[in-house]
Structure 1
């Protein structure tokens, strides 16, 4: 009872219990409308900023506390095809962006320059991740700041993980991590010691930077039957989730990982997720050595590296998992039951990314229809500014590309 009475405020547990019943499912309302595909939508750690990344060499930073006004408008440098990933430094001072090249660029998002044209109105410092021994110019799929802001870690289509020391201005670690593209790499918790990686070789791996054998993972998690598109850590050093081209999300516990790779059941089908539908016969296949705690099905992972996340701790107690989907919906799953509790429908094309505000019941989704939109729990459904069905743009037919992210 004391928690209820202290300062006339509810405890964090009470807040979480109350807020998790109010999901951001009303709307949507437009945050931005661009003429190129929206690949990324990410809130800052405190929720004050939203970053949107678009295929046309464009990143916009929005102030969510000032009616979603553009805080910084960034025209990027030396992009190959699209922005593949973005990362905001822990102090929210610098933004790193990557593309299908071995260079990550850094831009200051807190200075007075609002219109940031690379190396015209503002310097976008380039960090080179390639090495003299690299046989080809690789592309970077995933970039993350370390929790202390001193390092950048990337996953790439050179089958490796690279760690860049920002103070020393060089790559200090190269890990030959997988036998296929490394689509995602991320830190496990608030320390910088443990990394998770996911690859097109269907494996999730765990790396401990304190170990002497840095080229060998401390654990492998087997269970997916196709390429991993994204990983999100629960932040507790134990649990994480992975999205996969086998059309599932899996929940993992590090305490169940193995030290060796168990052979996967050979595929009884051939397909290319960039342009084909998922084979119906493949939906019923199961890995004989599946180590996952739970499997979530319903959404679809096609055309691009679609992302999934735990819902915020503050407002939901991480009770939910949410993900974009190639069927133009945002799916919200209950972690405990595995059931789809909500499907957010409005977009006219693939939703590659989405982001739940860390403290408020607001969710932003980004789609290949060019829209960034927000979903709310408490807004008025009769608000005339709410986007209506029929306003969507369908993704152009016959869309082709050499790479699909």
Structure 2
């Protein structure tokens, strides 16, 4: 197992980390605020008060894994076991920075990295029509090798159903295909060895397929619906039981690059567009109002990805202004204030560097809680995420980058705590295992790589 520690930057989360440039928001650095999300994160990822203040001979000891274990054995908490926050405190210090090890290498760009909800499966999608599903519990064996149907340019997104029986995939096309992954056959060639049903998202547009693309697709928690983001500025909700589009929301004026459900209820939807806005949609009100429940303003360029914290309140977004932003939807407004900058040329993130003169600009109506900078959002729709709730208490956010690196930031302080440097091309997507300190990256160099925690190292600090 090769080691590349010299290429991996890891910072001590107790205070020696590098401050992300411009970690700020409308209210300043969250590390200086008594903001609710800071308190929620602290509550989820700090040890039990009795363990934290464990005394030996009247001396208060610093928090460490070894001392927490000793305090647990001495039953300082009165329960004889770790609480969930105790476990998160221990596991959140085990950052997945060891490696990497190659999982697979393909001859085309990798666009998607996704663990299943239980971590037993991993999905990787490539520009050359391949989608591979790996069985993590069986040594990363390829369980399903899918050859996509009607591919236009690249696979833009994939999503496993909540019961892990089906996979949907989208491309620069109005058709989203759904395929069963339960069959015994490893090879799945569209409509040759297996049927890949096509779900038509342009049926409400009188079959107008020209320049229609699906950039993002997600299952609802109950598996009955799909929500999709499209190039025609609309959000679509597909009713799988009725086998038709059940809802079309004219959400933005230009491409909608990303969409997701806010929580398990499925009532609230977040969207992000090239119009620079994140919008919040309440499906319970659309029949009467037909308008967004609110708008979140602050990005200076288009939105490439949104990830929900899962609580129907907080989300993060990646923007082509080279930043990730943290939002609280209680700060949203009903209008879309604009900020115009003067440029002598048309900037295109797909092949141009971000203008130096724009790097320190700030939106005058910025509603975000804080901003994380250091990574680059260039060349493709780079994705960002909250770290897992079970193992980290969502203490971190992490993102791919156009400079071929994965960046991990502390959610509250904004500090850059790790950089995973291995790939030779942009990292579009990455995925942290829901329970273990394991992170997998997918890059345009065609490499799927996994990073783990160096268990042999001392973590007692």
Whether the TM-score (by the shorter chain) exceeds 0.5 is: yes
Q: Which digits, 9 at most, give the CA deviation of each residue in 1:3-46, with x for residues without a partner?
A: 9665x542211110001111000100011111111111100011
Distance 1:231 1:201 in 2: 14
Contact kept in structure 2, 1:177 and 1:215, CA below 8 Å: no
SS of match in other structure, 2:151: coil
Distance 2:100 2:452 in 1: 7
2:213 is the alignment partner of 1:139: yes
Residue of structure 1 in register with 2:147 after alignment: 75
Q: How many residues align?
A: 380
Within-5 A mapping of 1:319-334: 319-334=395-410
2:297 is the alignment partner of 1:225: no
Distance 1:15 1:173 in 2: 42
2:375 is the alignment partner of 1:302: no
Residue of structure 2 in register with 1:16 after alignment: 88
SS of match in other structure, 1:148: coil
Within-5 A mapping of 1:5-404: 6=79, 9-130=81-202, 131-132=205-206, 134=208, 136-211=210-285, 212-213=287-288, 215-268=290-343, 270-378=346-454
Distance 1:124 1:134 in 2: 22
The structure showing larger relative contact order (alpha-carbon pairs under 8 Å, at least 6 residues apart) is 2
Unaligned runs of 5+ in 2: 1-49, 51-74
Distance 1:374 1:320 in 2: 18
Distance 1:75 1:218 in 2: 40
Q: Which digits, 9 at most, give the CA deviation of each residue in 1:246-279, with x for residues without a partner?
A: 0000000011000111122334463111111100
Task: Tell me how far 1:134 sits from its aligned partner.
Answer: 3.7
RMSD, aligned α-carbons: 1.5
SS of match in other structure, 1:281: helix
Distance 1:135 1:378 in 2: 50
The 1:104–1:338 alpha-carbon spacing in structure 2 relative to 1, beyond 3 Å, is same
Contact kept in structure 2, 1:312 and 1:359, CA below 8 Å: yes
Distance 1:287 1:198 in 2: 17
TM-score relative to the length of structure 1 = 0.91
Contact kept in structure 2, 1:208 and 1:214, CA below 8 Å: no
TM-score relative to the length of structure 2 = 0.80
SS of match in other structure, 1:41: strand
Distance 1:308 1:85 in 2: 14
Q: Which digits, 9 at most, give the CA deviation of each residue in 1:349-405, with x for residues without a partner?
A: 100000000000000000001100000003669xxxxxxxxxxxxxxxxxxxxxxxx
SS of match in other structure, 1:65: helix
Contact kept in structure 2, 1:47 and 1:358, CA below 8 Å: yes
Q: Which digits, 9 at most, give the CA deviation of each residue in 1:82-140, with x for residues without a partner?
A: 10000111111110000000000001112212111100110000000112074734010
